[in-house]
C-alpha cells in the first residue's frame, strides 16, 4: 500500500483580506504559517513519509511545503515545482476584494465566475494582469490533469509515496480526475487550507480517501 497526499497551502495574506489571488505571488498570513505547521505535525503523527514532492511555483504553496516538511522532520525530499499546479488565473478580478466585486457586478455574476466549470472571469488588461489572461476551472484542469498524468501518476502506480502542495482550484481539478467527478459534482467540492487529503493505493488503485484533520 502507498499513498498520494494533496495539501492546499495555508491561508495567504490575500485569503485573509478576502481578495482574488490567482497567480499573484502573495505570501502566507500568520494563520497560514500555523496551518502549515499543523499539517506537518499531523503528517508526522500519522507516520506518513514521502519519496517525491510536487508544488506550484507560487510562494504560498512552496512555503507551505517547506514549513510542513520542516515541522514533520523530513529529510530532503526530491521536489519538482511547476506552474501547471498553479492556482486558477482570475483574470481582471485578481487583486479585487470579493465583497466589493459582488457589490459592483452582483452576487449571481460573481458566483458564476467563481463556481462555474467553463465560464472564465473577465479578461481585461490590468496592472496585475498585463497580458489580459484568464482561466475557467475547465482551463485549469486542462493543464493540471495532463501534468499529473505525465509527471506524477506513474510514480504513484509504482508504489511511491507522493506529496502535492498546491491550490484550491488546481487540487479540485486533480480530485475531479482521481474521483471521476462530473462537472456538476466538482463545483460543489471545496478543499480546506492546511488539511492533508490522503488517497491510499493498492496496486495502483485507490482503496481509501480521507482527510487527516
Where in the chain are the domains? 2-89+138-211
Question: Is 87 a known active-site residue?
Answer: yes
Question: Of the listed 9, 11, 35, 89, which one is catalytic?
Answer: 9
**Would you say residue 213 has pLDDT above 90?**
no
pLDDT, residue 65, reads: 98
**Would you say residue 127 has pLDDT above 90?**
no
CB atoms within 10 A of CB 73: 11
Q: Quick check: helix, strand or coil at residue 160?
A: coil
DSSP classification of residue 151: I
pLDDT, residue 41, reads: 98
- Angle of helix 107-115 versus helix 98-105 axis, rounded to 10: 120
Over range 61-90, report the average pLDDT.
97
CB within 8 Å of 87: residues ≥ 6 apart: 21, 22, 23, 56, 58, 166, 167, 168, 169, 170
Between CA 5 and CA 35 the distance in angstroms is 16
Instruction: Tell which residue, 208, 201, 212, 195, has the closest CA to residue 161.
Output: 201
Question: Of the listed 87, 89, 135, 167, which one is catalytic?
Answer: 87
Instruction: Tell which residue, 38, 6, 50, 70, has the closest CA to residue 213.
Output: 38
Question: Is 89 a known active-site residue?
Answer: no
Over range 108-122, report the average pLDDT.
93
Cβ–Cβ under 8 Å, residues 189 and 181: yes
Question: What's CA 38's distance to the chain center, in Å?
Answer: 17
pLDDT, residue 186, reads: 92
In percent, how much of the chain has pLDDT > 70? 100
2-89+138-211 has which fold? Rossmann fold (3.40.50)
**Would you say residue 209 has pLDDT above 90?**
yes
Listed in sequence order, the DSSP H helices in 86-158 are 98-105, 107-115, 137-147, 153-157
Beta strands in the chain (DSSP E): 2-8, 52-55, 79-81, 162-166, 197-202, 205-211
Position 124 confidence tier, pLDDT thresholds 50, 70, 90: confident
Cβ–Cβ under 8 Å, residues 31 and 142: no
Cβ–Cβ under 8 Å, residues 36 and 63: yes
Amino acid at each position: 500500500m502507498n499513498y498520494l497526499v494533496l495539501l492546499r497551502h495555508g491561508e495567504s495574506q490575500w485569503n485573509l483580506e478576502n481578495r482574488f489571488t490567482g497567480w499573484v505571488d502573495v505570501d502566507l498570513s500568520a494563520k497560514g504559517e500555523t496551518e502549515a505547521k499543523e499539517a506537518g505535525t499531523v503528517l508526522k503523527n500519522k507516520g506518513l513519509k514521502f519519496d517525491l514532492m510536487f508544488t506550484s511555483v507560487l510562494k504560498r504553496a512552496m512555503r507551505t511545503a517547506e514549513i510542513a516538511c520542516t515541522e514533520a522532520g523530513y529529510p530532503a525530499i526530491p521536489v519538482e515545482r511547476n506552474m501547471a499546479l498553479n492556482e486558477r488565473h482570475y483574470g481582471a478580478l485578481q487583486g479585487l476584494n470579493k465583497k466589493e466585486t459582488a457589490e459592483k457586478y452582483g452576487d449571481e455574476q460573481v458566483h458564476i465566475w467563481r463556481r462555474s466549470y467553463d465560464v472564465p472571469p473577465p479578461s481585461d488588461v490590468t496592472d496585475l494582469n498585463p497580458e489580459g489572461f484568464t482561466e475557467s476551472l475547465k482551463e485549469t484542469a486542462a493543464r493540471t490533469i495532463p501534468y499529473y498524468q505525465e509527471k506524477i501518476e506513474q510514480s504513484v502506480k509504482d508504489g511511491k509515496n507522493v506529496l502535492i502542495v498546491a491550490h484550491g482550484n488546481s487540487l479540485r481539478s486533480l480530485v475531479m480526475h482521481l474521483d471521476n467527478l462530473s462537472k456538476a459534482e466538482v463545483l460543489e467540492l471545496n478543499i480546506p487550507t492546511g488539511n492533508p487529503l490522503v488517497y491510499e493505493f493498492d496496486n495502483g488503485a485507490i482503496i481509501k480517501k480521507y482527510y487527516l484533520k
